[in-house]
């Protein structure tokens, strides 16, 4: 019987190195897939938030001009020199997205120390919609009467523990 001494193949060390490289590659692909899924979930949430904001603004813009009210008065009468800039450096109260007029969040839970209250609040299936209104003086020479209402809709959702928001600005002009 003749024993062949010229066998060619992989050593155990070469096989272990190859498996290690393969494992690292597979784990990298797994991490990339997980990151892509989180990114898609975030994008889906922001798209849904935009949809809720658009739905709410369509309802508001269909209202009569005089029925859209700055309920807390933080965006009305804050431009005494009529230059379009809030004299109180509060952005006409358009960024209020902490709580509603009753001091609660849109789901009804009390917010401690709530100061920046939105004019209108809605809980749309876990998406919190804050609506802020400000009466602005239109750029009509010599005019001091507000002919334009600025409406900012801020839709907020929690995404992996972070607060994500979509902000949309609209204007409603008084018609005669």
- Flag whether pLDDT at 141 surpasses 70: no
Q: Where are the domains of the chain?
A: 31-173
Q: What is the DSSP string of 66-102?
A: GGS--TT-TTSS--TT-SSS-TTSSGGGTT--SB-TT
User: In the prediction, which pLDDT does 32 show?
Assistant: 96
Residue 64: pLDDT above 80?
A: yes
Q: What is the pLDDT of residue 93?
A: 76
Residues 85 and 91: beta-carbon distance below 8 Å: no
Say whether pLDDT at 79 is over 60: yes
Question: Ranked by mean pLDDT, which of 18-27, 35-44, 67-76, 136-145 comes out on top?
Answer: 18-27
Single pTM value for the model:
0.73
Least confident piece of the model among 25-34, 113-122, 158-167: 158-167
Strand partners, 127: 124
Gap between the Cα atoms of 131 and 171, Å rounded: 13
Report whether pLDDT(176) > 70: no
According to DSSP, residue 7 is labeled -
């Amino acid at each position: 019987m003749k024993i062949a001494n010229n066998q060619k193949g992989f050593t155990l060390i070469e096989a272990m190195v190859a498996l290690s490289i393969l494992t690292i590659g597979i784990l990298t692909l797994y991490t990339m897939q997980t990151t892509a899924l989180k990114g898609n979930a975030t994008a889906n949430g922001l798209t849904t938030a935009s949809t809720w904001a658009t739905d709410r603004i369509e309802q508001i813009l269909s209202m009569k001009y005089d029925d859209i009210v700055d309920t807390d008065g933080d965006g009305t009468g804050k431009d005494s020199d009529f230059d379009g800039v809030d004299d109180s450096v509060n952005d006409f109260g358009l960024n209020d997205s902490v709580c509603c007029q009753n001091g609660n969040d849109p789901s009804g839970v009390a917010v401690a120390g709530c100061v920046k209250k939105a004019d209108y609040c809605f809980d749309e299936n876990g998406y919190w919609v804050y609506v802020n209104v400000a009466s602005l003086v239109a750029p009509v020479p010599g005019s001091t009467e507000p002919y334009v209402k600025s409406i900012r809709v801020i839709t907020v959702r929690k995404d992996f523990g972070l607060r994500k928001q979509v902000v949309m600005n609209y204007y409603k002009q008084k018609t005669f």
